[in-house]
């Protein structure tokens, strides 16, 4: 009896080890995507998101805007999931309407839906995707009607009523990839000019040392929070300066990026004991006010790599991976001075995986595929449930919560799939990903 137990134990631990060493394949990631899509179909069809624990659904507004199908469509195309992309396409074209009397957050709708519809159009060729994008663009455009040209945060899709003049750089400066593409595809110049002007207006309000703060009043143009950093609330402003140059070849964007990144690397970067981090500083003084860094900041190695700064990109991704490994899955935020967790949730974010994908693309180093294997295994282990993938309320206790954002299918699984795929599986050079991982091709 004793021996049988011992042998069983040896066999189980042997097979566990073998399992751990099995390479993670693109097919394995595809199966996880299908697991989520099938849960959406079963429990949330026609709604925005599936709720993975209660196996129900969540809508952002009083009418669904099909967040998950629109956000996930191009991932299906990239994964070669023909049946699934066909059913998502039918659902979108049959039932998505923006003629709704409801207020939406312009930033979220732009990156997820406008970006998703434009890449769907470019991949699929069906003009109805472009017509939907054009209709949405027209309804969002009133946000730019402010004295400064920087947008309000919320707009009613039917009435054009605006709300919330206190905005942040990310929500002000994250629209040119989507609206600029819409402009090129429809020939309507104002789609390019308004978001570009908003970026320029924001850049023009940088401090003497070249930094932006975190909250600005778009009516008066006054900063109401002068903390500068790279994380949520500013993050994709930096990303879009660089990527708009890459996608449109707009020299103003390149000049704004060059000056901004120099200031960020001078003041916000924090090299401590051989590790690179980016914390918080005052935008006017450059004096350090905080040493917090988190899962949103983990997008920065990708941007640094795309700009050609491989040294900082690799160093920063190594720091991000240390953060991930503190508890086997990354917390929302840590204090990198004390290496303690300051916000313990994990909301299925993609950024660290996105950065590993960019680094693997540029360096071809195995280290990044190996990181991908760790990400895959920990995600499956801690977040996978019958109804899809659940957020973690706490990365230390691993307690789950009932939400799966559409970016898990649009970004997290897409970047993971690309990370474990062959280097040449994807035409990286001719595509620019928006901040929600929707790949846009320069066809104009
Ligand atoms: C996504 O919606 C986008 O990547 C955005 O830029 C930041 N937050 C989420 C993912 O974490």
Mutate to test the pocket of ligand 1, among 49, 231, 296, 391 (most ligand atoms within 8 A of CB): 296
Q: What pLDDT sits at residue 364? A: 96
- Mind listing the pLDDT tens digit for each residue in 202-219? 999 999 999 999 999 999
Please write the tens of the pLDDT for every residue from 175-184.
999 999 999 9
Per-residue pLDDT tens for 138-194?
999 999 999 999 999 999 999 999 999 999 999 999 999 999 999 999 999 999 999
- Measured N-to-C along each axis, helices 26-44 and 366-383 cross at an angle, to the nearest 10 degrees, of 30
Is the confidence at residue 13, as pLDDT, over 70? no
Contacts of 128 (CB under 8 A, 6+ apart): 93
Residue nearest to atom 1 of ligand 1 (CA): 436
Q: What percent of the chain has pLDDT over 90?
A: 93
Q: For residue 69, what is the enclosing H or E element?
A: helix 67-79
pLDDT at site 9:
46
Q: Is the pLDDT of residue 2 over 80?
A: no
Closest CA to 114 of 96, 134, 99: 134
Q: Whose CA is nearest to atom 11 of ligand 1?
A: 349
At residue 436, does pLDDT exceed 60? yes
Are 224 and 215 in contact by the 8 Å Cβ rule? The answer is yes
Which of 351, 389, 409, 439 to probe ligand 1 with, by most ligand atoms within 8 A of CB?
351
Which pLDDT score, from 0 to 100, does residue 20 have? 56
10 Å Cβ neighbour count for 444? 10
Residue 424's pLDDT is what? 78
pLDDT tier at 1, thresholds 50, 70, 90: very low
Q: What is the mean pLDDT of residues 253-275?
A: 97
Using most ligand atoms within 8 A of CB, pick from 435, 437, 439 the residue to mutate for ligand 1. 435
Indicate which atom in ligand 1 lies nearest the CA of residue 295.
11
> 171 C-alpha vs ligand 1 centroid, how far in Å?
11
Determine the pLDDT at residue 299. Answer: 99
**Is a pLDDT exceeding 60 seen at residue 14?**
no
Q: How many CB atoms lie within 10 A of CB 391?
A: 20
Give the ligand 1 atom nearest the CA of 437.
Answer: 4
10 — pLDDT class (breaks 50, 70, 90): very low
Residues marked as catalytic: 108, 235, 332, 351
Q: What angle do CA 435, 420, 406 make, to 5 degrees?
A: 35
pLDDT at 251: 98
Q: Looking at per-residue confidence, does 12 or 75 come out higher? A: 75
Q: Give the binding-site residues of ligand 1, using a 6 Å CB cut-off.
A: 111, 236, 349-351, 407, 411, 435-436
Ligand 1 centre from 16 Cα, in Å? 34
**Which residue segments constitute the domains of the chain, with CATH numbers given?**
26-441 (1.50.10.10)
Opening angle at CA 256, ends 254 and 257, nearest 5: 65
Distances (CA, A) of 171 to 91, 175, 307: 29, 8, 22
Tens of pLDDT, residues 406-429: 999 999 999 999 999 997 778 999
């Amino acid at each position: 009896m004793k021996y049988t137990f011992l042998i069983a134990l040896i066999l189980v631990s042997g097979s566990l080890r073998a399992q751990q060493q099995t390479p993670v394949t693109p097919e394995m990631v595809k199966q996880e995507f299908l697991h989520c899509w099938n849960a959406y179909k079963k429990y949330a069809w026609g709604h925005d998101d599936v709720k993975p624990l209660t196996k129900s659904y969540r809508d952002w507004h009083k009418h669904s805007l099909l967040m998950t199908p629109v956000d996930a469509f191009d991932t299906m195309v990239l994964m070669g999931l023909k049946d699934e992309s066909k059913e998502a396409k039918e659902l979108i074209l049959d039932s998505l309407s923006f003629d709704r009397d409801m207020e939406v957050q312009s930033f979220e709708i732009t990156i997820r839906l406008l970006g998703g519809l434009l890449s769907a159009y470019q991949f699929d060729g069906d003009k109805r995707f472009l017509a939907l994008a054009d209709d949405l663009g027209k309804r969002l455009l009133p946000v730019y009607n402010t004295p400064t040209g920087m947008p309000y945060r919320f707009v009613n899709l039917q009435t054009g009523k605006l709300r919330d003049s206190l905005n942040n750089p990310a929500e002000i400066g994250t629209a040119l990839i989507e609206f600029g593409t819409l402009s090129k595809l429809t020939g309507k110049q104002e789609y390019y000019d308004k978001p570009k002007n908003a970026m320029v207006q924001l850049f023009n309000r940088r401090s003497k040392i070249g930094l932006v703060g975190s909250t600005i009043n778009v009516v008066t143009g006054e900063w109401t929070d002068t903390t500068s950093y790279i994380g949520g609330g500013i993050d994709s402003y930096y990303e879009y300066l660089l990527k708009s140059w890459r996608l449109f070849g707009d020299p103003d964007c390149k000049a704004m990026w060059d000056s901004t990144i120099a200031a960020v690397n001078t003041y916000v970067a924090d090299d401590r004991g051989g590790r690179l981090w980016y914390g918080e500083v005052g935008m006017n003084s450059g004096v350090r006010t905080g040493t917090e860094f988190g899962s949103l900041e983990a997008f920065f190695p990708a941007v640094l790599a795309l700009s050609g700064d491989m040294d900082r990109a690799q160093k920063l991704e190594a720091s991000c991976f240390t953060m991930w490994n503190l508890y086997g899955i990354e917390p929302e935020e840590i204090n990198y001075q004390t290496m303690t967790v300051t916000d313990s949730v994990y909301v299925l974010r993609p950024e660290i995986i996105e950065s590993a994908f960019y680094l693997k693309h540029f360096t071809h180093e195995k280290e990044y595929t190996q990181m991908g294997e760790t990400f895959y295994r920990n995600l499956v282990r801690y977040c996978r449930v019958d109804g899809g993938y659940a957020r973690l309320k706490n990365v230390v206790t691993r307690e789950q919560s009932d939400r799966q954002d559409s970016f898990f299918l649009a970004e997290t699984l897409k970047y993971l799939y690309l990370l474990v795929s062959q280097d040449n599986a994807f035409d990286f050079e001719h595509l620019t990903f928006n901040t929600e991982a929707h790949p846009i091709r320069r066809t104009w």
